Amino acid sequence: MNSNEALEKRREYLMPCLNHFYQDPPLFVRGEMQYLYDQGGKQYLDFFAGVSVMNCGHSNPFILDRVIAQMRQLQHLSNIYLTGPILALAERLAGIMPGDLHNSFFCMSGSEANEGALLLARLATGKRKFIARRLGLHGRTNLTMAATGLSLWRADPFLPGDFYFADTAEEIEAILQQDEDIAALIVEPIQGNGGIRPAPEGFFQEVLALLHRHGALLIADEVQSGFARTGKMFAIEHYGAAPDLMTMSKALGNGIPIAAFAASAETAARFTRPSASTLGGNPVSATAALAVLDYIEAERLCERAAELGDCLRAGLETLQQGTDLIAEVRGKGLMLGAELALDGEPQPGLTDRVLESLKDRGIILGKNGLHRNVLAFQPPLVINAGDISFLLENLKEALRENRP
């Protein structure tokens, strides 16, 4: 099968809601750490990591060996039976999550983890409604789509009206004062799809005090920012704050589907009505997650993301000084964004052309933001300084060649 045949099959058999990057997309057949290969054998440096998933690299042998051994030994039973890996993973997470987060519920996707955290917030507070930040993205289920502030990702015309949208502590306080029925605020510490937007400094301390005064909880959505990506295990640690509930997915399994929401023992104690996820945290996905955590620690990926992130940011800021096309460089660690605009006008067309020419030059970059004009740099954390130089040289050329 070549790319054209793959596009035709995609059109024929997948739902048309599913979009793809690139006019002329490669058909990928293989991955190896920070590199991808298409069916013609061409190598690409991956700077998007399958949307911030492959933090430990594609087909990482250290992780694969452990997953394959587990698959040969015991693959699936569901959590109505006793098995070891899910318990080892829950204990391990309790040791690394911020604050007093202690008990986990394992499921399959970021949407499902957020849906569960919203449910637990309702059960724990006895309240119904929520606050979310504008430009946030929390998932595709009914409640998490309602929590999503980006209109692009709100496909359902009949979403429940249980959400207020607010950005600042002042706006959040005003809502809490006028409506006593708020169970939680859900926030990405660094908005991913919204265009790599870190929450303002001091935001979490301020809103935690407000929320707790009004009997409401803070849910940190670390689905995209978690597991060393930002230079710390979880992005909220940059703010010196700990949430009441936290959700995780993507990089936790490094490509094996797993997600979780977690709470303190006290909050978790309110979740007693039966709930279960058939595949959530099964022996294979829990083993993958344990191997991921071992690899992050052994290879010091938090430190690596922080150091390489500084190097990439410095390079992007130098590029910014030499062009009028980059309005802002934002983010933390290896979760960085460069917003493309010209004379104050967002440049989604330019963003697409830059992505296309970088792809032709052998680099896969992401894009996001309200206007789809933010270049997203979220590579596997195993890249090296040479990869960053290669990206920066080519990005400079791609911007120059595609200037409107």
Ligand X SMILES: Cc1ncc(COP(=O)(O)O)c(C=O)c1O
| Residues forming the site for ligand X (CB under 6 A) | 51, 109-111, 114, 137-140, 188, 192-193, 221, 223-224, 249
Taking the complex as a whole, the smallest distance from the CB of residue 193 to ligand X amounts, in Å, to 6
Per-position DSSP letters for 311-349, written without gaps between them: HHHHHHHHHHHT-SSEEEEEEETTEEEEEEEETTEE-HH
* Pick 38 or 221: Cβ nearer ligand X: 221
Radius of gyration of the chain (CA): 21
What is the C-alpha to C-alpha distance for residues 15 and 10, in angstroms, rounded to an integer?
Answer: 8
Residue 85 · residue 287 · CB < 8 Å: yes
- Which of 143, 399 has the CB closer to ligand X? 143
Nearer to ligand X, 110 or 333 (CB): 110
Phi, psi of 109 (to 5 degrees): -145, 165
Query: Is residue 340 within 8 Å of 350, Cβ to Cβ?
Result: yes
Nearest distance in Å: CB 49, ligand X: 12
Helix (H, G, I), strand (E, B) or coil at 185: strand
Q: Based on CB atoms, which residue is closest to ligand X, 137 or 391? A: 137
Nearest approach, Cβ of residue 367 and ligand X (Å): 13
Is 91 buried (19+), middle (13-18) or exposed (0-12) by CB count in 10 A? exposed
Query: Least distance (Å) from ligand X to the CB of residue 54?
Result: 14
Helices (H), 167-282: 169-178, 203-213, 265-268
Closest CA to 354 of 310, 311, 391: 391
Task: Output 145 or 399, the one with its CB closest to ligand X.
Answer: 145
Closest-CA residue to 138 (of 167, 121, 118): 118
108 versus 242: smaller Cβ distance to ligand X: 108
Of 218 and 326, CB closest to ligand X: 218
- Residue 118 or 395: the one with the smaller Cβ distance to ligand X is 118
In contact, 282 and 289? CB cutoff 8 Å: no
- Which residue spans within 343-398 are E strands per DSSP? 345-346, 363-364, 366-368, 374-377
Alpha-carbon distances of 165 from 8, 15, 130, 342, 379, rounded to whole Å: 40, 30, 9, 29, 31
Shortest-Cβ-distance residue relative to ligand X:
110
The minimum distance between CB 376 and ligand X, in angstroms, equals 11
Least separation in angstroms between residue 41's CB and ligand X is: 30
Please state the closest distance from residue 130 (CB atom) to ligand X, in A. Answer: 14
Query: Measured from the CB of residue 250, what is the shortest distance to ligand X in angstroms?
Result: 7
